[in-house]
Amino acid sequence: MLRPSNILSLTLALLLGCADAKAALYGFSEANPYTYEEEILDIKVPPERMINYRQKMRDNIIMLSNFAKSKNRDFQILVHEGEDLLNKYLWEYHLEGYNAARRAGVNASDPSFLAKIKAYMPEHQPAVGSPGRYYMQSIDGIVLNNLLCHDRQLTPTARDSGLKIISIDKCENPLKYDAAIEASAGKQILLYGFLNPDFAFNNAKIQPLVNENARNIYKLADAGNILFLIEEDNYHTKADFINDIRNSNFDVIVIRPLFHNKIPYTPEEINSLKFKKNGTKRLIIGMMNVSEANDAAYYWKKSWKIGAPTWLKRASFVDPHAAITEYWHEDWKKIIAKYFQGIVDSGFDGAFLTGLENHHYFEKQTPLD
């Protein structure tokens, strides 16, 4: 007799057709890779002003979380690939050394300036600085790519944080998928796994349901399974999309807050999605990118392009319709605040925040190595 996990993996293995939908999600797409010029970037003279890009990202997450939890203390904040923001990392210590050296009067035009930074770095480097603690306290879960099927290791901080850990796994074969299911149960990690990326994220009917249950789910910590339904190309109408969700028993479902990026859900529609087919309560989470502007979004102006406004910096690495922003710019912060308020006001149980990894792009442009 086949174990339930074997049946699930065989179901996945049968999904071998073709589909056009691709998830615009870091780690599973590459729409606009680094250019040659970006790859060989060499700054001989450090710029006059450097920004702590990680802290700016943390600040935005904290801002959104504080707003949501002031409205609903049970609102769940889920972040994608935000693990490295939990700690104060080497780049930030280098930045502190840079600033300390500048204050000490070291000549920044000296080609060896960056090499001298170590002399100004703190002697004691705590594993988690207070910025990481504030960020950690502002979120409820972290979604990581390929944690189980690829033996990725959690950082000690993430492992001991008490946050709900969720893994999105592209598994190489059914046996690895089975092993990931078993590991997720043993480690109490939520798994969203798949074999064929063409059938990931985009059809509620064909997604295997692991750990089905009849429990009421009030927070991420209660959940036994999760569905990321963030690609809607298979659905021509919002009604069909809603109907498929209503007829499922997933504990947590992540969707975009606007159907086809333009049609809003009413609070009544969102509320109707909060119940599994078996009648028990589940969580409906709205997805938004905190660092990329999408040209299909309601806020996008026809005159916009890369560099105009100035805070639109480069094409997204994962989404052909998006641009990476200077996410600390006040104009962008106003846009995401309004967008996020729409998620909260529509009655979603939480938000899935993506785009956190884009701080790496800006750090690469201002190296402190």
Mean of pLDDT values over 250-276: 96
Answer whether residue 209 shows pLDDT above 80.
Answer: yes
At 117 the pLDDT is: 52
pLDDT tens, position by position, 106-146: 665 654 555 555 554 444 343 445 678 899 999 999 999 99
At 130 the pLDDT is: 64
Confidence band of 24 (pLDDT split at 50, 70, 90): confident
Task: Please tell me which residue, 356 or 6, carries the higher pLDDT value.
Answer: 356
Which percentage of the chain shows pLDDT scores above 90? Answer: 66
Confidence band of 23 (pLDDT split at 50, 70, 90): low
At 112 the pLDDT is: 55
At 114 the pLDDT is: 55
pLDDT tens, position by position, 73-109: 999 999 999 998 998 877 677 677 766 666 766 665 6
* Helix 4-13 with 174-187: angle, nearest 10 deg: 140
Mean of pLDDT values over 23-39: 84
Residues in contact with 298: Cβ distance below 8 Å, sequence separation at least 6, in sequence order: 258, 262
Sheet holding 312-315, edge to edge: 292-294, 322-325, 312-315
At 29 the pLDDT is: 85
pLDDT tens, position by position, 46-57: 555 678 899 999
Confidence band of 317 (pLDDT split at 50, 70, 90): very high
| AA letter at 13 | A
Answer whether residue 334 shows pLDDT above 60.
Answer: yes
Which percentage of the chain shows pLDDT scores above 70? Answer: 80
Q: Which residue has the tokens 């339930």?
A: 4
Give the span between the Cα atoms of 317 and 326, in whole angstroms: 15
At 11 the pLDDT is: 38
Answer whether residue 173 shows pLDDT above 70.
Answer: yes
Query: What is the pLDDT of the chain when averaged over all its residues?
Result: 86
At 306 the pLDDT is: 96
At 17 the pLDDT is: 32
At 101 the pLDDT is: 67
Rounded to 5°, angle at Cα 291 from 365 and 310: 65
Please say whether the beta carbons of 264 and 230 come within 8 A: no
